[in-house]
Amino acid sequence: MSHQRDSFVTKFGIVAAVAGSAIGLGNIWKYPYMVGANGGSAFILVYILAVIFFGYPLACSELALGRKLRMNTVDAFHALGKNKFWKFVGFLPLITMLLITSYYVMITGWVAWYFLISIGGQIREVPATTLPADFYKNLFSQMTASIPIVLTTSTVLLILVALVNARGIKKGIETCSKIMMPILFVLIIILIGYSVTLPGFGKACAYMCKPDFTAIKPSVIVAAIGQTFLSLSLAMGILTTYGSYIDKSQDIRSISKQMVIMDTTIAILAGFAIFPAVFTYGLEPGMGPGLIFMSLPQVFLKMAGGALFAPAFFALVLLAAFTSLISLFELLATYLIEKFRISRYMACAWGVAILFFGLLLCTISQRPDSNILVFGSKTVLDIFDYFTNNITLPITGMLICILVGFRWKTENLEKELAIGAKKTASLIEQRTFDILIKWIAPPIIFVLMVVWIYSAS
């Protein structure tokens, strides 16, 4: 490349940034209700196995691919695949990022609004004549129907993300990640410390730690592997982009291991922070995405110290979502910089404009009286979520495995992974990588995609 590329400086900075990309709404919002809907600790056990056998090898592959080529995702796929088909494949993560970020920033805006009203106390102002369940359902509906509220909170967040990215990898993303990730860990430990005092903590521990092996069904395995892709930011182009800014002196296997451990730890800790309250106050653990917006506020209303617990909880979710938005935004910024040879500041300004359009579509379609519906009743969020989760993510994941395993060759992957490593991987680990990436992951991902599409239709 003709321009000077920025790079990460410290290993902690790299791990914090990569883990920050992975730790997001998927861990703190989606993971607990996925656990609840899929058999509790049985799902956790299958998820951990999926992370080890799918998440870790794919994370290594994407980071190594990025470092080897030091290009944006579109050019990296094209350079390695050496034909137009692979250039088209390189656009898939970019398309996925645009669709996911359009609604992800909107949902983060929802979280920001709940954080603000929990600090102000409005979240606890339930009229005596109104049932709490009805109050919080109406509160959520009123917020999503209010375009000014959602656009204001979401746009402010989008601009803040762009300002971080505009400062570059070292001064922006790495510095921000090194500050935010420790705060995130402290917040979740504080929340768990409070949850330990609740009567339902013992029941939550049993639910999280005693697997019921009869609950491990094909649907649970499918859900666990799908959650692995979402939680670790696999097949989104994020890890390939971050990999392109990693120095040759760094050990990618070690970085991948630490990222996977941090991400999985946060996801499990989120369960220990949330489920004690769920069991204490008689909620259903698998009640779905409405858990944090409509159900948990009822808990915060009842619990002693709820006035402090609520803002701390929404601060945690907001922080996790913000770090993920930074990584999603960087994928677009890197592409714009290298494709159009523009400054990072200009690329970030264009990024805000592009994503604001997607945010606007998603926000307007969430209104109850919206005319922006697809296939009769689907909102833009529903379509974007369905298309990315069921089509572009699994296809990209499968094709990355094929690209690395058969075009680049796993022996070349091993050579790249050996650069900067303190010790060479064992032959067993190398052989396992080769088999997983070439022969196991692609067909399993294909089957998953078929199952996802069939079950979602």
- Checking if the pLDDT of 368 tops 90, the result is no
For residue 417, what is the DSSP state? H
- Checking if the pLDDT of 63 tops 90, the result is yes
pLDDT in tens, 195-247: 999 899 999 998 888 887 888 888 788 888 888 888 898 989 999 999 999 99
CATH code of the region 11-456: 1.10.4160.10
Q: Check residue 387 and give its pLDDT.
A: 86
Strand partners, 374: 378
CA 360, 366, 367, 371 dihedral sign is: positive
Break the chain into its structural domains and give their ranges.
11-456
Report the alpha-carbon distance of residue 111 to residue 25 in Å, rounded.
10
Average pLDDT, the chain: 90
Mean pLDDT value of segment 114-130: 94
Question: pTM to 2 decimals?
Answer: 0.93
Mean pLDDT value of segment 87-94: 94
Lowest-confidence region among 20-29, 288-297, 322-331: 288-297
Q: Check residue 423 and give its pLDDT.
A: 84
Mean pLDDT value of segment 3-25: 89
pLDDT in tens, 261-283: 999 999 889 889 888 888 888 87
97 closest CA partner among 326, 263, 322, 255: 326
- Checking if the pLDDT of 357 tops 90, the result is yes
Mean pLDDT value of segment 139-144: 92
pLDDT in tens, 297-316: 988 998 888 999 999 999 99
Q: What is the dihedral of CA 35, 39, 45, 51, to 10 degrees?
A: -40
pLDDT in tens, 150-184: 999 999 999 999 999 999 999 999 999 999 999 99
Residue 1: which pLDDT band, with cuts at 50, 70 and 90?
Answer: very low
Strand partners, 378: 374
DSSP for 157-199 reads: HHHHHHHHHHTHIIIIIIHHHHHHHHHHHHHHHHHHHHHTTST
> Phi first, then psi: what are they for 131, rounded to 5°?
-70, 140
Find which of 274-283, 321-330, 447-456 is predicted with most confidence, using mean pLDDT.
Answer: 321-330
Report the alpha-carbon distance of residue 77 to residue 37 in Å, rounded.
37
Q: What residues have CB less than 8 Å from 457, skipping those under 6 apart?
A: none
